[in-house]
Amino acid sequence: MTPALPQRRIGAFDVSAIGLGCMNLSHAYGQPPARDAAQALLLRALDLGVTLFDTAALYGFGSNEELVGEVLAPHRHRFTLASKCGMQGVDGTRVIDGRPATLKATCEASLKRLRTDVIDLYYLHRWDRQVPIEDSVGALADLVREGKIRAIGLSEVSAATLRRAHAVHPIAALQTEYSLWTRNPEIAVLEACRELGTTFVAFSPVGRGFLPGTLRDVSGLDAKDIRRAMPRFAPVNYAANLRLLDGLGEVAREVGCTLAQLSLAWLLARDEHIVPIPGTTHIAHLEEDLGAVDVRLNAAQMARLDTLIHRGNVAGARYNAATQTEIDTEEF
């Protein structure tokens, strides 16, 4: 019998309070795991009660959707399926394209790769600034009416863009990076989500491997690891950031959990409308992450964490200048 994890709400769906970001299994952090290992991790997540699986057309330029479809299609009734459009691989190059015709064609291709008739939650992965957000969301609304997707999400957008989109069609979820060391959503988006009834889905909730404290030396990152281009992972900045973990470790020991669990528990305690989606390639890490649902932080511990790590003492920007131009989130 599938163990029960605490549930949270995304649109019409009840999902596990912690979902699974599937990107790591095909994309972004260097050499992905072997196919059989990736398959085993997805099935283990399902067995542990994870009911939100998050993929995208971009991840592995379609191969991640193929993996998720191959492994999880036989269990389709047991989980909420999320994918994304608007950013994908074209002839080996990452392209942002929010034109309605492109989004609809991407959806058709994703449905085939995912081996399903309908995608539960379909995000606009990036807002293409050359296309009004109303036009892109209008195309997704057409897909809802056609029965090809059930709910619409947005990724890496501001509160103002969320409101414009929501005026066209209800936005069930907004996804962006949020963790102890990335606080940008606190500027405006979290409050906008509360006002509109939009669930906030937090990606990279353990800081792209920083917050668990196991990545001590960034010099050994794979040549294709996207963190190599992120200022926070530049050697000088990273060395400074590692010092922040000492204080976090003290809190984790006091609570009786790991640093990864502490980071996820902090997010879960921030608000009931937040759903973190950590990603991993290791079953042991998956099991550790899900253990965060049993961690309880009191008000004093939450305040202490906010004092120990915040935007004022994290060294380095979230993205480099080129990537920053592609996103619409508020910046400090």
Which residues are within 8 A (CB) of 307 and not within 5 positions of it... i.e. 6 or more apart?
Answer: none
HSE-up of residue 108 (Cα within 13 Å, Cβ side): 9
Q: How far apart are CA 245 and CA 54, in angstroms?
A: 28
**Alpha-carbon torsion, ordered 15, 329, 215, 16, to 10 deg:** 0
Q: Helices 35-47 and 283-290 sit at what angle, rounded to 10 degrees?
A: 20
Q: Which two tokens stand for residue 124?
A: 């606009």
170, exposed or middle or buried, with CB in 10 Å at 0-12, 13-18, 19+? middle
- Please confirm, yes or no, whether 59 is among the known catalytic residues: yes
Check: CB of residue 199 under 8 Å from CB of residue 9.
yes
Check: CB of residue 162 under 8 Å from CB of residue 189.
yes
Catalytic residue among 29, 59, 122, 319: 59
Classified as helix, coil or strand, 4 is coil
Catalytic residues: 59
